[in-house]
Structure 1
Amino acid sequence: MSRYTISIMFPAMHDALNAIQPRYARWNPAAPDEPRGAGASPEAAVAAVAETVLAGLAEGSVAERAALLATALARVPAGDARERGLALGRSIALAALRRREADGFAPFVQFSSATRPGRWRPTPPLFGQDVVPTSTPLLFSPMAAAALTPPPPPLGSPVYLRDVEEVRRVGGRANAERSAAEAASAAFWAQQVSHRGFVDAVVALLDARPAPDGLWGTARGLALLSIGMDDVGVIIWQAKERYSVWRPVTALQEGGFGVAPDPEWMPLVTTPAFPEYPSGHAADCAFGGALLTALFGDGVPFTYRSLGTRAILSQRFASFRAAAADCSASRIWGGVHFRHTEEVSEAIGAAIAREALRHLQPVGGRGR
């Protein structure tokens, strides 16, 4: 499922549960036609939310969605509570889809490219040109979102020169000053779509150690994760288009601004088809690491399950922060990002996590 889909589905599940029994503040207020939650089955409500959102966004086939709904309802006794839950969940899901309808029709536009020094252009070997969303963030105004992403250092500045030379040394395909473990990390994270991996990690952790507040706590955690991850995607990708910074492979092959050209230099991993600054991986992982640390505590070992089909299938990390640090550094070892980009992007992800955690707070004097 996409960031967009889960950022509608999980908050709507959270809202459905809190319509039945208010424990946390809702993400969206109740629509005028929302059924009363009293007497509704929580399990039926969240199942109905999932099926309705997936159907509304054409995720999966009709048969797949029907099978998922049937599985979810198998342990819910037939009767008035189930019917009330289904009606409530469908109503809240439809309202959530309507609220995000404008985002759904916001076009994706192709990243602009230029041949001016310092500006991004498609890179070898694929020379692809990806797209950028034009939707607005959920947690921030457009102005506040732009303020999260300061400009990169100027070409030829000491920071720029330091970081270009570092990537030349440690991120190249050949003759790199890089350990086997660092190369493996670069290959592992290059395959990952970070928001999916962190959702998978949350589900696995909650299965092993259920949230103190049961289904309500689980839904809140997934809602916060999905809302923030959607903002990371929008904010980072729009900043990439705004600054349009060239990738290390271009900076090193062309040289200039105090950098000696190296026409044969190639990165260890394939360069993504969009601008370098800021870093999606670093911001995603910093957000996920900070949010999961707030929800589960520090020093919690976990497995990040690979979504790729090659090489390492999963990685075990000592903590969420350790995973985030490895994810960020891997982009330097892979030769596709500069260190200053990773550091700024980590700060962006952490800031989005702090803002997300201000929402969906306990109500009625309940503890967190």
Structure 2
Amino acid sequence: TRDVKVFSVDSLTSYEQSVYANFKDKLDETTYSRSIAFGDSVAKVILQRAGKDGYFASRGKAKYLGSNTPGKWKPTPPDYLDGVEWCWNTMKPMVMDSSSLFKPSPPPPYSLDTKSIFYKSLTEVYNINKSLTNEQKEIARYWDDNPFVIEHSGHMMFGNKKITPAGHWMGICAIASKLSGADEVKTAKAYAYTALALYEGFISCWDEKYRSSYIRPVTAVNELFDPAWLPWLQTPPFPEYTSGHSVISASSAIVLSSLFGENFAFQDTSDLKYIGMQRHFNSFNEAAAEVSVSRVYGGIHYRFTADTSAAQGKKLGSYIIAKLGN
């Protein structure tokens, strides 16, 4: 039996009321009332901006089905879903001047030349996945963070829910805040900076994903080497380059390092309740680096994608700190 977590409106309302009650017991009525009123005024401004951030305009767009052009992305197995959120680069950034501010160099040209970067990188992914060590499998599974892995059993199909990449890093932010003994102000700042690193990171990454619309390893392996091959991890339904998880992990690691230190060691238990796993890291950057290589172990990204994505995320994280301060 799986322990499924469902957050209903009632449960959120109950949690909100419990938080209010906790503060009300510690504050006089005037301070409490002013605080609630101020919070409501801030919320209204946030909701006004959210109404104009491009999200609603991006709904109802035509499906992105890729292309049969060699080297370009097309829907991937097992369910060949259309490309997810192909208009995400139209979202209004909060810190960046534009979604293309950290536009990376184009990916290597698609080539069947055995000496080309593409062919060598594809061969590397294929060979690694044929002989994964237990440690490599564990790393790939730990950072999978695919919120909707589609499972098949006979005629039955269901979505296996897990933590998201963004949720994982917000969990790490919470761990760091608690472990460091951060007060309410620093904790709020850590959450805000991490959220910005995630939000801007996905916009920056998705801007490139659907510009280059690059072929995924599973498609290339199926077409060139083995039509039945599947990677260790299920390939998410969007183009290859760059890697969302690598970008947002690198950007989050930069902002968290600026707040808690470059060598902040922690035990990551963010995924413990979901997949029963935890890992120790000597720094946020060490964790982010493991995220990048996990995508290669998982067979869902080429190494050049992982490396370029990490660099993209680091630039973004440094930009956020330079613009907002630490």
TM-score of the two chains, using structure 2 as the length reference: 0.82
Note the aligned Cα RMSD (angstroms): 2.2
Deviation at 1:326? 1.0
For residues 152 and 350 of structure 1, the distance between their equivalents in structure 2, rounded to whole angstroms, comes to 18
Distance apart, 1:233 and its partner CA: 1.2
Deviation at 1:313, TM superposition (A): 2.4
1:299–1:319 Cα contact (<8 Å) kept? yes
Q: Which residue of 2 aligns with 1:13?
A: none
Which structure has the larger Rg? 1
What residue in structure 2 maps to residue 219 of structure 1?
188
Aligned to 1:335: 299
Change (3 A) 1:315 1:114: same
Instruction: Compute the displacement of 1:78 (Å).
Output: 3.8
Matched, 1:196 2:167: yes
Cα–Cα, structure 1 residues 69 and 309, in superposed 2: closer, same or farther, change >3 Å?
A: closer
Residue identity in the other structure for 2:173: V
Pick from 121, 144, 148 the counterpart of residue 74 of structure 2.
121
Report Cα offsets for 1:75-126 as digits up to 9, x if no partner. 4324111111111111011112112211242314443411111111111112
1:97 aligned partner: 47
The one of 227, 238, 241 aligned to 1:263: 227
Question: Cα gap change, 1:312/1:66 in structure 2, threshold over 3 Å: closer, same or farther?
Answer: closer
Equivalent residues, number? 292
CA contact (8 A) 2:190 2:259 kept: yes
Taking a change above 3 Å as real, the CA distance of residues 169 and 310 of structure 1, as seen in their structure-2 partners, is farther
> Which of the numbers 40, 54, 57 marks the counterpart of 1:106?
57
- Distance between the aligned counterparts of 2:104 and 2:184, measured in 1? 36
For 2:157, the equivalent position in structure 1 comes to none
Q: Can you list the C-alpha shifts for 1:244-263, whole angstroms capped at 9, x where unaligned?
A: 111101111212xxxxx332
1:299 is displaced (CA, Å) by 2.2
- Contact kept in structure 1, 2:126 and 2:299, CA below 8 Å: yes
2: CA distance between counterparts of 1:310 and 1:105? 31
Q: Calculate the TM-score normalised by the size of structure 1.
A: 0.73
C-alpha separation between the residues in 2 aligned to 1:95 and 1:155? 46
Task: Work out which of the residue numbers 101, 121, 127 in structure 2 matches 1:163.
Answer: 121
Partner SS, residue 230 of structure 1: helix
Distance 1:300 1:308, change over 3 A: closer
Whether 1:138 and 2:89 are equivalent positions in the alignment is: no
CA displacement, residues 199-258 of structure 1 (integer Å, 9 cap, x when unaligned):
1122222223223xx322222221111112101112212321111111101111212xxx
Contact kept? 2:209, 2:241, Cα under 8 Å: yes
1:65 correspondence with 2:13? yes
Assess, with a 3 A threshold, how the Cα gap between structure 1 residues 222 and 311 changes in structure 2: closer, same or farther: closer
Q: What code does the residue aligned with 2:285 have?
A: R
| Deviation for aligned residue 1:311 | 4.7
1:7-62: CA deviations, max 9, x gaps?
xxxxxxxxxxxxxxxxxxxxxxxxxxxxxxxxxxxxxxxxxxxxxxxxxxxx8515
SS of the residue 2:249 aligns to: helix
* 2:177 matched residue in structure 1: 206
TM-superposed CA distance for 1:66, in Å, is 4.2
CA shift in 2, pair 1:349/1:331, >3 Å: same
Structure 2 equivalent of residue 79 of structure 1: 29
Q: Answer whether contact 1:268 1:335 (CA < 8 A) is retained.
A: yes
Q: 2:106 aligns with which of 151, 168, 174?
A: 151
**CA 143–80 in structure 1, closer or farther in 2 if over 3 Å, else same:** closer
For residues 317-336 of structure 1, the aligned pairs below 5 Å read 317-336=281-300
Correspondence for 2:131:
177
1:238 aligns with 2:238: no
The answer on whether the counterparts of 1:247 and 1:336 sit within 8 Å (CA) in structure 2 is yes
**Aligned twin of 1:46:** none
Among all aligned residue pairs of Structure 1 and Structure 2, give the percentage whose two residues are the same amino acid. Answer: 27
What does 1:3-18 correspond to in 2, within 5 Å?
Answer: none
How far apart, in 1, do the equivalents of 2:17 and 2:270 lie?
Answer: 27
Q: Distance in 1 between matches of 2:304 and 2:17?
A: 46
Residue matched to 2:3: none
Paired letter, 2:16: L
Q: Is the 8 A contact 1:188 1:306 kept in 2?
A: no
- What is residue 352 of structure 1 aligned with on the other side? 316
